[in-house]
Amino acid sequence: MRLPAALLDGYASFRSGRYASESESYHRLGEGSQKPKVMIIACCDSRTAPETIFDAGPGEMFVVRNVANLVPPYTPDGGHHATSAALEFAVMSIGVKHIVVMGHGRCGGIRAAVQESSPLTHTDFIGSWMRAIKDVTRIVPRELGVNAETHERHIERASIEHSLANLRTFPWIRMKENKREISLHGVWFDIPLGELHTYDEDAAEWGAVEG
């Protein structure tokens, strides 16, 4: 069965456009090993591609995407932990200098947790994965007079803060941060406005990036 036409058309455009003009760069990337300095942990949401938002080219960012951009706590129990494995590879093998947890507005995963929607199936994966968000919703109560959209934004940002805390449960991340060999960042993207907000951990405040 053929690939969807949109993918084939996109590939043809890539070959005649970007690849044609940057083929030497692709040859260098293919012959060597990747050495990006930045790792992004982002959501699977199709509207929030980090490479697009940060205008990054091939080899510039190590990107991991999962539902609701979550970082689980360090749990070396022999189970399957895709995000944790990616973190270990990025930090211990590639040697990234920055880890960015990137959330966004109107996140479907967060909304499902806030509205206490039923799991997708009775034997699902996403219900277990989103359990961490349930914990966050319990510690961020809805304030009087705050509408549902604003409350969801509070949860989205609190979840990023929670993931930053979870990053520090990984001993090799904590050690490198203490040695100032790696830095952790939280960002939140407003889709309709195209605005990026960053988290200042010292001040415990969120603010929009200018420009």
User: What is the structure's pLDDT at 20?
Assistant: 96
pLDDT-based confidence at residue 122 (cuts at 50, 70, 90): low
Pair 151, 160: CB distance under 8 Å = no
- C-alpha 187 chain-centroid distance: 9
Q: What does each C-alpha distance from 101 to 24, 89, 115, 183, 204 come to in angstroms?
A: 32, 16, 23, 11, 16
Average pLDDT, the chain: 93
pLDDT-based confidence at residue 123 (cuts at 50, 70, 90): low
Length of the chain in residues, anyone?
211
- C-alpha 196 chain-centroid distance: 13
User: What is the structure's pLDDT at 200?
Assistant: 97
Residues 88-102, mean pLDDT to the nearest whole number: 98
Q: Which of 27-41, 122-136, 141-155 has the lowest mean pLDDT?
A: 122-136
Model confidence, pTM:
0.94
Is 127 a residue whose pLDDT tops 90?
A: no
CA distance 153 to 148: 9
